[in-house]
Structures are given as structure tokens and as C-alpha cells.
Amino acid sequence: MSVLRYLLDRSWNGDIFLIYGCHNPDDIIFREELDYLQRRHPNLQVVITVSQDGETVWPGPHGRITKELITETVSDLPSRYIHICGPVPMMEATKQLLAELGVSQERIKTEAFGPALGKEERLPKAAQARTPEGSSSERAGLPTVTFIDSNKAGSLPPDKVVLDVAEELGVDIDYSCRSGICGVCRVKLLSGEVSMAVEDGLQPGDKENHIILACQASATSDISVKA
């Protein structure tokens, strides 16, 4: 809605398509505002699909967002810039649909902050510093993340990412969204390999320069980062 309002407030005259999926008609947020904006701006097309009817039969599309619904709604799809917001499984499924429809990843932007990832927001923890020598990671059979600049290391369990361990050890890594979107927590990977569920916060050339997102990076073997 913030993107939509911004474009319309700026009198942007290009086509704007909003495809919105929700559980039932009673769950449609901004419904009155969307109706008003459509009446006022002929370049705005809103399509709402619901999983099931509410107290009355929904006259529009039913079911989840599909390739058919997208192509029926949006012309020249591969040339469009697309913004996705919602639960992570829905966004990932939609990104896959768009890829199958010929939309390049560079034209897709997503918004998924902490709660959308199912993670609670955590404040930095006061933790005792541990050095690479004497780390309990090896005894636990877990991979180790070593923070070279801080001369600290800790175990990296499967349910944690580099930023989690940094907070536990008192290693200072800037962050904001904790969901791989903003890119504030970008750090350089010096050794090893990581996997990241979301990479939207990376900039062009980051992967080639071994830059990772601390809030997304997990590993199954030892790694070291510049932090």
C-alpha cells in the first residue's frame, strides 16, 4: 500500500496492477481505500482473489495467486517491476511462478521483516567473549564461525545464523530488518561456504566478492568472516 500510495500521490501515469490474495472477503484490508483509488485513478487495476467466500458470495476470483491470474491481469509481464509482500512461503511460491513466466530476478523486490519469517525480534545479548581456542563447537560436533577481526568464535547450529552467534559473542555487526532485505548486515566471508534463504539485500557484485548477509547465512562446515 505504501508503494501504491506513493505512485498515485506522485501522479505516476504508468500502469499499476495490484494482485491481492487473502482468506475471505472479510480479511481484505484497505478495501474502501482501494475502491476509492480505483475510481479516481484509471491506470490502477486491483484484482483480489479469496480462498473462500464470506457471508456473501465473492464475485471475483477464488483461490491462490496463480500464473493464470497473473497473466490475465498483467500485460507485458517480463518488462514490469514487481513488488511482493506477505508470508514467506507465499512470496517464494510467487517468485517461482514469475520465474516460470519469464520475469528476471532483478525485477522482483520482496518485503519480509522479522515476523513474516516466523522469527521473534531479539535484542543483542550480553555474552561472554570466547576465542577460537577453547571453543565448544568442536566438542559439540557443530560447525564453527570465526570472527577474524574480533578474534572470537562460536558454534553455528542449524537453527542459527551468523548474526545470532555474533550477538551471543558480543561481536558488533550492524543490522536492521533481520530478514535479508535491507542489506545492513553485509559482511565478507573469508573462508568456507554459507547458504542464505533470502538474498535480496545483496548488491550487484557482492556474491563475486564473497559478501554475505549475516542475518541469513547458515553453514554446515566451518566458516570465517570479517567482523
Q: How many CB atoms sit inside 10 A of residue 215's CB?
A: 30
Same domain, yes or no, for 109 and 144?
Answer: no
Residues 106 and 160 occupy one common structural domain:
no
Whether 7 and 107 map to the same domain: the answer is yes
* Residue 196, pLDDT score: 94
**Residues 147, 53 share a domain:** no
Same domain, 69 and 6: yes
> Is residue 159 assigned to a domain?
yes
Least Cα distance to 90 among 126, 56, 118 occurs for 118
95 with 178, same domain?
Answer: no
Would you say residue 90 lies in a domain? yes
Residue 36's pLDDT is 96
Q: CA 154, CA 157: separation in Å to the nearest integer?
A: 10
pLDDT for the residue 98: 96
92 and 143 together in one domain: no
Q: Say which CATH number the domain at 210 has.
A: 3.10.20.30
**Same-domain pairing of 14 and 99:** yes
User: Backbone dihedral region of 165: left (phi > 0), alpha (psi from -120 to 50 degrees) or beta?
Assistant: alpha
Q: Is residue 118 part of a domain?
A: no
Task: Give the per-residue pLDDT at 39.
Answer: 96
Determine, yes or no, domain membership for 108. yes
pTM of this prediction exceeds 0.85: no
* Residue among 115, 61, 70, 63 nearest 88 (CA): 115
Report the number of distinct structural domains present in the chain: 2
Q: What is the pLDDT along the chain (227 residues), one digit of tens a residue?
A: 989 999 999 999 999 999 999 888 988 999 999 999 999 999 999 999 998 887 878 999 999 999 999 999 999 999 999 999 887 778 888 999 999 999 998 899 887 655 444 444 444 443 344 444 444 444 458 999 999 999 999 999 999 999 999 999 999 998 877 888 878 899 999 999 999 988 888 888 999 999 999 999 999 999 999 99
CATH assignment at residue 86: 3.40.50.80
Report if residue 16 sits inside a domain.
yes
Domain limits at 155?
137-226
